[in-house]
A and B are shown apart, each in its own frame.
Chain A
Amino acid sequence: MSPTDVAVQETAASAATHPIVNDLNIQVATVNGSGSQTANMVLFRSIFQMGIPVSGKNLFPSNIAGLPTWYTIRASKDGYVGRKREVDILVAMNIETARDDVMGLESGAMVVYDEPLKLSALRDDLIFYPVPFDTLVAASCPDAKLRRLVRNTIYDGVLAQLLRIDRQQIEAALKRQLGRKVKALSINQAALESGYEYAAEHLTKQDPFVFEPMERTRGKILIDGNAAAALGALMAGVTVVAWYPITPSSSLCETLIDYLRKYRIDSETGKATFAVIQAEDEVAAIGMTIGAGWAGARSMTSTSGPGISLMAEFTGLGYYAEVPAVIFDVQRVGPSTGLPTRTAQGDILSTAVLSHGDTKHLLLLPASVAECYSMATQAFDLAERFQTPVFIMSDLDLGMNTWMSDSFEYPTTPPDRGKLLDADTLARLGDWGRYRDVDGDGIPYRSLPGDGMPAYFCRGSGHDANAQYSERAEDYENNLTRLARKFDTARGAMPAPVIEREGDGPIGVIAYGSTHWAMLESCDQLRQQAGVRPAYFRLRAFPFSSDLGAFIDRCERVYVVEQNRDAQMLALMRMELSPDRLAKLRSVLHFNGLPVDARTITDAILAQEGQALAPVTDAQIA
């Protein structure tokens, strides 16, 4: 018996007495284009169906086939759904990355690997389970041409057996995933079965990781942020959609097209109550959106960073000529082409002031799929209420990954079409001017082509309150001042910030968007490890609520946590906050293209706090 065998035996003994239940992070390393997505979703869904909180993150290349891809599935009995850095279970299917994948593991992790890769020789502090995938797939799938596609399903079977995933649940998940494809289902069932049997007969459990049924996902849905946003647009009554394909936003419009075709064809006439145009580029996409918004349609486009850059001129027109438009920015890593399949919160600053001149835009900051849905609906109301482009700042992590969520709410209010001129209003106003602020809120009344109300000439050039061309200094200044007043009015109508955690010390944290999930977990880590209970303020919109200042006043130090290099949200705060408040702000930044994890935030905050923290006692932790 070698020393390694002794170590493994000890681990096995300890695993039996100290199992780790429903708290593990699985990473599957494959090659993209190999059909691994089905296998991964089956695994993900079966954990979900067992009632265990689960999250999945697809780390994929900007490529169609042949490059490394990783999918991580995190199950967390405590409900944490942010990314976890440490991998507990590696499924190594890719020869290109296998060595690095194994070397990066923490001691004690388990590895299911393709036997010919001979990974067990690399380290002696891991638990290895070799599986002869080629032999198994050859036996279970007679058609050689299809083997490539079902090979990955075998690891589902192996993991199900090793981790005690309910067999009925994994079979149900497979059916759910491939239900309509009868042949695909049957060959995948066979592959699943062969993995299961192989593990049962040949692998002795030595690791401590197990799943046990819970009740924490009952009634919940699984959806990605792009689909959720599409659903929000559908329920908002969007009528004109103009878009140009770009990762990671394409699936937003593609899903929306599916919904529109299913739910928005007039049953009597068979005609569409919507138009979707795949434009020639992002400039045309936003141009169509603004043209349709001017003519009174609820219009939208969806894009990512490079598209946002192209839309700069048009969104300035939308701001200055006061035309509603809804723009989804599913952020990816820049600058330039950057990393198209990686996530970031890197468009915040440039989008807030997108376009030349004194331009400022309304931004919504969804943190969850539920907010992708609700904010999408809300964005159309805000765009019409404030007659301006509204941006929903999603990101790749939120938009393309599948998340658990409570069911979404059916909208209870009709669309807010904002201040549309009608006969009564016209009679009340007497003398209407398109850009006249009659209510003191900076928001004028607008008429639409074909509505029978007085017409006006909409333009991006200088204009007076009556929409006449003007280069007069007072006209320009009055107009810009009114636009600032309108922006200020919007401040109170944007989604309010949320105090996610009440604190009891000097420290506050501010986060927004998909950073939220790691931030929540980090709050718990800070409490457990350092006895720090930070107050957590989650931003949900720009312009900022006045509550932001009040929150900072309550704290001695406030960490603004975001996923970009240049502290972009903090930079926006510099535009709006007084120097004494700014002096309290510190940054925690994460910008490597991967979704931020709690550990990164916790370590960064603790490092900056340094000696300011008192030693922690057990009593404090409890």
Chain B
Amino acid sequence: MATTASTPRKKVNRIGLELRPYRGSKTTLCAGCGHNAISERIIDAFFEMGIEPSRVMKLSGIGCSSKSPAYFLGGSHGFNGVHGRMPSIGTGAVIANKQMIAIGVSGDGDSGAIGIGQFVHLMRRNLPIIYIIEDNGCYGLTKGQFSPTADLGSKLKTGVVNDLPPLDMCTLAIELGASFVARSFSGDKKQLTSVLKAALSHRGTAMLDVISPCVTFNDHVGSTKSYAYSKDHDEPLGEVNFIPYFQEIDVEYEAGSTYSVKMHDGSHLLLKKLDADYDPTDRLEATRLLHETRRRGEFATGVLYVEPDKEDFIELLNLVDAPLASLPLEQVRPTERAFAEIMEGLR
């Protein structure tokens, strides 16, 4: 009896794809950059959720963070636009083809400074998009100037001290109308992957502020966005577990110790509670938590706020089911009779 050596089967996801199509081109960011870890988590989350890469649109602005969409989901369309204006490009693209899944990657300068107007209005519209801010508190690509999320009193390598208070992008996003707001840390593999998966199940704007240390310009003593500081001051709300709609809920959890949120698509977001009864669907509580942790010099991580059934911008627009981009002529050009009626009305 002949035997054949069997090659080990490569791991495939639930739609039968290997990991390869979820990878992108080789990163050109610095070794150890937090952004690279985030790209890895995006790859993991999309692979594990079984999202077809061709159904994804990647969008970004300008800066180190905004380069990163080239480094994941190589089989997806991507648009690296102009500084701070990813939200408007994303809005146009999502409206043009509502069947696509949009993921936008921005930075703290891109979203908090030059692009804050567009950030505000995207959140306000609750556009269906995963909006990631890779937050390192500085402008890496122009060699380390402070960004608007740099903490008061934090120091540049050159010794320059930041004398303006930071913007908190999560507090802002909650206030502005985003329906899913989370904060995570690029080094927290488990939490970030779970948060990304939950964001993929959310309908509406999922804003993720991911602390992502800049190893070159902002990872020294005195920086509040360094690896060391982040690890010491990360205040997880508790374990984030996410059960997609296609899985049986077989995770055991102690009743009363876990907060369960049913997402719009039927998935479950499970948040293990800390000491307090934290309700992530309560906007005021989420805002209070952010203010309190900040006062202690900590930053809360996890899913801070979620409003699973809020109407998103696409629903508001009451669009036909097919993408606007591919509607046939008869659906987009009024008939000759209708045109004659218009002309008659002008006589």
- Contacting residues, chain A, for B321 (C-beta < 8 A): 269, 271
Docked pose: A240 CA to B82 CA in angstroms: 20
Residue of A nearest to B327 (CB): A273
| Best-surrounded residue of B53, B75, B76, B327 (most CB of chain A within 10 A) | B327
Is B323 an interface residue, CB under 8 A from the partner?
Answer: yes
Chain B residues, Cβ within 8 Å of A238? 332
* Distance in Å: Cβ of A601 to nearest Cβ of chain B: 30
Contact A317 B96 (CB under 8 A): no
For A280, list chain B residues within 8 Å (CB).
117-118, 120-121
Partner of B55, one of A222, A284, A450: A450
Bound CA span A272–B91, Å:
17
B88 touches A279 (CB 8 A): yes
Minimum CB distance partner of B59 in chain A: A291
Contact of A287 among B70, B85, B99 (CB under 8 A): B85
User: Could you tell me if A264 and B329 are in contact, using CB atoms closer than 8 angstroms?
Assistant: no
**Contact flag A222-B346 (CB < 8 Å), given A281-B117, A295-B100, A450-B97:** yes
A284 neighbours in B (Cβ, 8 Å): 85, 87-88, 91, 117-118, 121
**Residue from the set A219, A220, A266, A321 with the largest chain B CB neighbour count within 10 Å:** A266
Complexed CA–CA distance, A317 and B79 (Å): 11
B325 touches A448 (CB 8 A): yes
- Given the complex, which residues of B lie within 8 Å of A314, measured CB to CB? 82, 85
User: Distance (Å) between the CB of A368 and the closest chain B CB?
Assistant: 14
Are the CB atoms of A449 and B93 closer together than 8 Å? Answer: yes
Are A457 and B324 in contact, CB atoms less than 8 angstroms apart? no
Residues of A within 8 A of B69 (CB): 457
Complex interface residues of chain A between 200 and 258 (CB less than 8 A to chain B):
219-223, 231, 234-240, 242
What CA separation (Å) do A230 and B332 show in the bound complex? 14
- Against A, the Cβ 8 Å flags (1 = close, 0 = not) of B25-37 are 1001000000000
Q: Which of B179-187, B200-208, B299-307, B335-343 is near enough to bind chain A? A: B335-343
- Taking each of A281, A447, A459, which has the highest tally of chain B beta carbons within 10 Å of its own beta carbon? A459
Within 8 A of B (CB), among A423-476: 447-452, 455-461, 468-469
A456 B329 Cβ-Cβ under 8 A:
no
Q: Is the CB of A450 within 8 A of B323?
A: yes
Kindly list chain A residues whose C-beta atoms are within 8 Å of the C-beta of B74.
455
Contacts of A234 in B (CB 8 A): 334
User: Which of A63-71, A109-117, A405-413, A562-570 contacts its partner?
Assistant: A405-413
Task: Report the bound CA distance from A219 to B100 in whole Å.
Answer: 48
- Chain B residue numbers with a CB within 8 Å of A469 are 28, 70
- Which stretch from B166-174, B235-243, B275-283, B312-320 is at the chain A interface? B312-320
Complex CA distance for A461 and B81, rounded to whole angstroms:
9
The interface centre, meaning the residue of B53, B78, B85 with most chain A CB atoms within 10 A of its CB, is: B85
A:260-309 near B, CB below 8 Å = 263-264, 266, 269-275, 277, 279-281, 283-299
| A458, B78: Cβ atoms closer than 8 Å | yes
Given the known inter-chain contacts A294-B89, A450-B325, please indicate yes or no for A221 contacting B332, CB distance below 8 A: no
B92 touches A288 (CB 8 A): yes
CB A228 to nearest CB in B, in angstroms, measures: 9
Q: Is there an interface contact between B334 and A455, defined as CB atoms closer than 8 Å?
A: no
> Are B80 and A295 in contact, CB atoms less than 8 angstroms apart?
no
A273 to B325, CA, bound (A): 10
Per a CB cutoff under 8 Å, which of B87, B320, B334, B336 touches A272?
A: B320
CB distance from B107 to the nearest CB of A (A): 15
A497 proximal to B (CB < 8 A): no
Which listed residue, B75, B95, B334, touches A277 by the CB 8 Å rule? B95
Nearest CB of A to B323, in Å: 6
Cα A237 to Cα B327 in complex, Å, equals 9
**Across the interface, which residues of A come within 8 angstroms of B323, CB to CB?**
295-296, 450
> Given the complex, which residues of A lie within 8 Å of B55, measured CB to CB?
450
Give the nearest-CB partner of B334 in chain A: A263
CA distance A297 to B94 in the complex (A): 10
| A239:B89 contact, CB within 8 angstroms | no
A270, B318: Cα distance in complex, Å: 8
Contact partners of A407 in chain B: CB under 8 A: 343
Known A263-B338, A273-B331, A458-B80; judge A240-B324 contact (CB<8 A).
yes
Nearest B residue to A448, CB-CB: B325
Least Cβ–Cβ distance between A150 and chain B, in angstroms:
26
Bound complex: CA of A294 vs CA of B88, how far in Å? 12
**Contact of A410 with B336 in the complex, beta carbons under 8 Å:** yes
Give every chain A residue within 8 A of B80 (Cβ-Cβ).
457-461
Q: Does A488 contact B (CB under 8 A)?
A: no
**A33 CB within 8 Å of chain B:** no
Contacts of B338 in A (CB 8 A): 263
A579 in contact (CB, < 8 A): no
Q: Once the chains bind, are A220 and B347 in contact (CB under 8 Å)? A: yes
Residue of A221, A296, A447, A455 touching B96 (CB-CB under 8 A): A296
Contact A271-B319, Cβ < 8 Å, known A296-B325, A459-B79: yes
C-alpha spacing A293/B333, complex, angstroms: 18
B333:A235 contact, CB within 8 angstroms = yes
Interchain CA distance A297-B93 in the complex, whole Å: 8
Specify the chain A residue showing the minimal Cβ separation from B80: A459
Contacts of A271 in B (CB 8 A): 318-321
* B13 contacts partner chain A, Cβ-Cβ < 8 Å: no
Please list the 7 inter-chain residue pairs (A to B) with the smallest Cβ-Cβ separation, ordered nearest first. A287-B88, A291-B92, A296-B325, A237-B332, A292-B92, A297-B96, A295-B96
| Given contact pairs A293-B92, A410-B340, A455-B74, a sample of 4 additional A-B residue pairs in the complex whose CB atoms are under 8 Å apart | A235-B333, A272-B320, A283-B88, A291-B91
- Could you tell me which B residues sit within 8 Å of A by CB distance? 25, 28, 53-55, 57-59, 69-70, 74-82, 85, 87-97, 99-100, 117-118, 120-121, 317-321, 323-327, 329, 331-334, 336, 338-340, 342-343, 346-347
CB-defined A-B contacts under 8 Å, sample of 21: A219-B347, A221-B343, A237-B327, A237-B329, A239-B325, A239-B327, A264-B332, A280-B118, A283-B117, A287-B85, A291-B91, A292-B92, A292-B95, A296-B96, A296-B97, A296-B325, A450-B77, A451-B326, A458-B80, A460-B81, A469-B70
